[in-house]
Amino acid sequence: MFDQKRINDIDILKEKIPPEFQYWWRFGTIVELNYSSKAIDEYYCDYTNKITLLLTDYNHQYKIELSLYNIRGNLNFDMANGLFSGFTIDEYSNSGSDNNFHLYSDEQDIKFDLYCEKINAVLL
């Protein structure tokens, strides 16, 4: 359910999407996936990375753009038979770590196991 309090603009999603659609597994179609990396401090070779996912429900009625910042983990798809039917987002708190969220899928053909510092969610 959309019960993560630290996702930016999650309240707007909760207002505009009906309760029966307020589950991350409902948005299992990835329409677009973009990865970018940006230098924060070139002297220390410090970079931040960002993944932007454009997600939609099965009927393409609602579209959500998720932006994940400062990502660590694995994201692999088996293109032969890997169907993506959704994922879960857990708030993750580990003292001394900047990983605030854990995104994962239990699909057997997909290794979707990411940790990130910040998430922005926008309803398109």
DSSP string across 75-106: EEE-TTT------EEEE---TT----EEEE--
pLDDT computed for residue 6 by the predictor: 87
Is the confidence at residue 112, as pLDDT, over 70? yes
Higher-pLDDT residue of 105, 52: 52
Q: Which range (15-19, 29-33, 61-65) has the least confidence?
A: 29-33
Phi, psi of 40, deg, nearest 5: -95, -45
